[in-house]
Amino acid sequence: MNTAVAPAASDWRKRAANQTRLAFGQALLELAARDPKTVVVSADTQDLLGIRGYIERYRDRFIEMGIAEQNAIGAASGMATTGLHPFVCAYAPFITARSMEQVRNDVAYANQRVVIGAAASGISLGVAGGTHHALEDLALMRSFPHMTVIVPADVDEAYQATLATRDIDGPVYMRLGGRVEEPPVSPADSVFKLGKAPQLRSGNDVAVIACGAMVEPAVRASDTLRAQGISARVINMHTIKPLDRDAILAAAAETHGIVTAEEHHLTGGLGGAVAELLAVERPTRMRMVGMPDTFAVVGPTLKVRAKYGMTAEAIVEACRSLLG
Amino acid sequence: MNESREVLLKRLDAAARQVRRDVWRALKAGGSGHAGGSSSAADILAALYFHRLRVRPAEPDWSERDRFVLSKGHANAALGAVLAQAGFIEDAVLDRFYGYESPFGMHPDIKVAGVEMCTGALGHGLAVAMGMALGARIQKQAFHTFVMLGDGELHEGSNWEAAMGAAHYRLTNLTAIVDANKISQSGRVADIIGVEPLADKWRAFGWEVREIDGHNMGEVVDALDGVPFNAERPSAIIAHTVKGKGVSFAEDTYVWHSNNVDEEIYARAIAELGMP
């Protein structure tokens, strides 16, 4: 570790304020200190990703693209071809859907090292309404060859995962939260390993495979179930692609069924990815917790989540129904 | 190189003629293809690769090389032709146009030596080229980035995001060349969705514009040598061209945007273009 970065890194946790989007912005400071090829691209998202500190310090390695996601991705790809390592700071709903062709062609097809930090994913901006929700981004992004897809569950994971992108020789989509607190779930000594899902609770009755904002409810669900005499393994599937096949296949082999939990449509996200694997390798009874096939109502994130069954209680219910 | 202007222009005209012959040869190999837009671009591509661009065919990834992005990627037959003539790729590749697992398909692929980006989905190249120009600036490199767009391609709104951004950053190391052949896939651009007044549009977006006859090699060379046209602005060259240039039956018609090419058509085209 470069000691020169210690002052910047020392209180990043405080500045991240339990929000993964801000942890991403803090990690960029450490990345820039380590790697002169680091360049940050904003789509008028300087506060959304908490990068004003970065901009102040690394003005010559910052490009504001304005409200132009297609241009942000295309130019990031062009910069990557010259040897730079661009990190695009953007809104998840816009950077995936609006500029999807640029992501597919300029970044994924051309296999360029562009990291997309996609804040405001899921219904984390609940009050903003359906135009600003991103409930299909995982389905879109994981369908592209070359693409790595990461969904950090808390700020420690987001910070470490952002640093870990340095070692990924290809494009990365990092799904980040919005202006809603993401309580810590990672053990203090946890080390992020790409494609290696940490197990947060042990158990052999049932396994809950969760990602992002649903990891913390999954842990609570497991604790509730334990009090009821049911042991529920909890796996934090922070990397959606490449998927941790071993962890999923082991859970399928060692438990009576699998529940997936995500803040994403039930089509094509984590549940879909797990089901695709198990359908071929080891057909397993499953339940999927996530957003049904509808656009979400407007409202505070936690209330909207609850309306559509994305809660610890819903995970408990899904586990019990598998065992019943 | 102590080459007189007369010799230079003759050499480039001959190179452009060879590009056109190789375009038709590739299209014959593939059975079809984009003769119109490949032929309209031939003179500019020849001037770029055999005069203006600082590139090293034997070292295609040389980090200081000038960049060229063919945003109108459907003219890949012409790009393949110049890359082969320049020695980036083997000449025999031209006979594998559209072939199974060929490096040389309908649209450019970054995996091919000398190709800077996967293009052909229109409206991508200008943003990518802007990124390359930014990359040069951030890393204090002296290379220049050129990007060629079609005039019909300018329907894509993403171009104007990039035009706005490149002007904002005063990317004098970036030049957009519009191969304005006035025709797209379905007909005349003016009838599909008009793009005029084109020069005024680019100027309004903050670019310094020069309009040229894209088949007059002297004008092409002067424009390419003249960039940046302004010490504060990116440069736009609007090259007025003829779609299908060089082969009478293919000139100025949407029918030859893309069309089938058999032995007989190939022979007629080559007869008009002359032998080397």
CATH number, position A135: 3.40.50.970
Mutate to test the interface with B, among A82, A88, A107 (most CBs of B within 10 A): A82
Domain count, chain A: 2
pLDDT tens across B90-137, in order? 999 999 999 999 999 999 999 999 999 999 999 999 999 999 999 999
Catalytic-role residue among A69, A157, A216, A262: A69
Same domain, A251 and A137: no
pLDDT band per the 50, 70, 90 thresholds, residue B2: confident
Domain finish residue from A175, A208, A225 = A175
Does A66 share its domain with A149? Answer: yes
Homologous superfamily of B5-273 in CATH? Thiamin diphosphate (ThDP)-binding fold, Pyr/PP domains (3.40.50.970)
* ipTM above threshold 0.95: yes
Name the one residue in this structure whose structure tokens are 């700071």. Answer: A89
CA distance B256 to B76: 15
Determine, for residues B165 and A77 on separate chains, whether the beta-carbon distance falls below 8 Å. no
Contacts B157 to A, Cβ<8 Å: 70
Whole domain around residue A226: which residue ranges? Answer: 199-323
Question: B233: which residues sit within 8 A by CB, 6+ positions away?
Answer: B167, B170, B172, B206, B207, B208
Domain layout of chain B by residue ranges: 5-273
Q: What is the pLDDT of residue A9?
A: 52
Asked if B78 reaches chain A (Cβ–Cβ under 8 Å), the answer is: no
pLDDT at position A1 over 80: no
Whether residue A148 lies inside any domain: the answer is: yes
The answer, yes or no, to whether residue A40 has pLDDT greater than 80, is yes
Looking at the fold, whether A115 and A157 belong to one and the same domain comes out as yes
Mean pLDDT, to the nearest integer, of B232-241?
Answer: 98
Note whether A78 contacts B134, CB cutoff 8 Å: yes
Residue of B63, B107, B115, B134 to mutate for A, most A C-beta atoms under 10 A:
B134
Please judge whether B165 and A75 are an interchain contact, meaning their C-beta atoms are less than 8 angstroms apart: yes
User: Does any domain span residue A164?
Assistant: yes
- Interface touch B131/A78, C-beta < 8 Å: yes
Indicate the residue among A175, A210, A230 that finishes a domain. Answer: A175
A22 and A164 fall within a common domain: yes
Q: Are residues A266 and A157 in the same domain?
A: no
Do A160 and A283 belong to one domain? no
User: Would you say residue B170 has pLDDT above 80?
Assistant: yes
B270 touches chain A (CB under 8 A): no
Judge: B134–A63 Cβ closer than 8 Å, yes or no. Answer: yes
By C-alpha distance, the chain A residue nearest B68 is A78
Alpha-carbon distance B154 to nearest alpha carbon in chain A (angstroms): 14
Inter-chain touch A66–B158, beta carbons under 8 Å: no
Cα–Cα distances (Å) from B183 to A69, B251, B265, in that order, read 29, 10, 21
Closest residue on chain B to A85 (Cα) = B135
- pLDDT confidence tier of residue A7, bands split at 50, 70 and 90: very low
Contacts of B99 (CB under 8 A, 6+ apart): B29, B30
Q: CB contact, 8 Å: A224 with chain B? A: no
Whether A77 contacts chain B with CB within 8 A: yes
In the A/B pair of chains, how many CB contacts fall below 8 A?
103
One domain, residues A160 and A20? yes
pLDDT tops 60 at residue B245: yes
> How far is A87 from A90, CA to CA, in rounded Å?
10
Residue A182 lies in a domain: no
Single pTM value for the model: 0.96
In the Cβ-directed half-sphere of B233, how many Cα atoms lie within 13 Å? Answer: 17
pLDDT given for residue A196 in this prediction: 98
Interchain contact, B131 vs A70, CB within 8 Å:
no
Mean pLDDT over all residues of chain B?
Answer: 97
Q: Which long-range contacts (CB under 8 A, 24 or more apart) does B84-90 make?
A: B84/B22, B85/B15, B85/B18, B85/B19, B85/B22, B85/B49, B85/B50, B86/B49, B86/B50, B86/B55, B86/B57, B86/B114, B87/B57, B87/B58, B88/B57, B88/B60, B88/B112, B88/B113, B88/B114, B89/B113, B89/B114
| pLDDT exceeds 60 at position A4 | no
Could you tell me if A72 and A112 lie in one domain?
Answer: yes
Q: Would you place residue B1 in the very low, low, confident or very high pLDDT band (cuts 50, 70, 90)?
A: low
CATH code where residue A263 lies = 3.40.50.920
**Distance from the B40 Cα atom to the nearest Cα atom in chain A, whole angstroms:** 25
Nearest CA-CA distance, residue A64 and chain B, Å: 9
Rounded mean pLDDT, B150-173: 98
Best of B70, B71, B109, B117 to substitute, by most chain A Cβ atoms within 10 angstroms, is B117
For A75, the closest of B63, B67, B127 (CB atoms) is B127
Helix (H, G, I), strand (E, B) or coil at A149: strand
Q: Among candidates A149, A127, A169, which has minimal Cα distance to A212? A: A149
Q: Are A207 and A305 members of one domain?
A: yes
Same domain membership, residue A281 and residue A230: yes
Residue A8 has pLDDT above 60, yes or no: no
pLDDT of A305 higher than 50: yes
Predicted local distance difference test score (pLDDT) of residue A10: 63
Q: Across the interface, do A74 and B131 touch by the CB < 8 Å criterion?
A: yes
Record the tokens describing residue B220, joined without a space: 């092409």
Average pLDDT (B172-190) is 98
Phi, psi of B131 (to 5 degrees): -65, -40
| Residue % of chain B over a pLDDT of 70 | 99
Give me the pLDDT at residue B275, please: 76
Q: Is A69 a catalytic residue?
A: yes
A contact residues 37-66, partner B, Cβ 8 Å cutoff: 39, 60-61, 63, 65-66
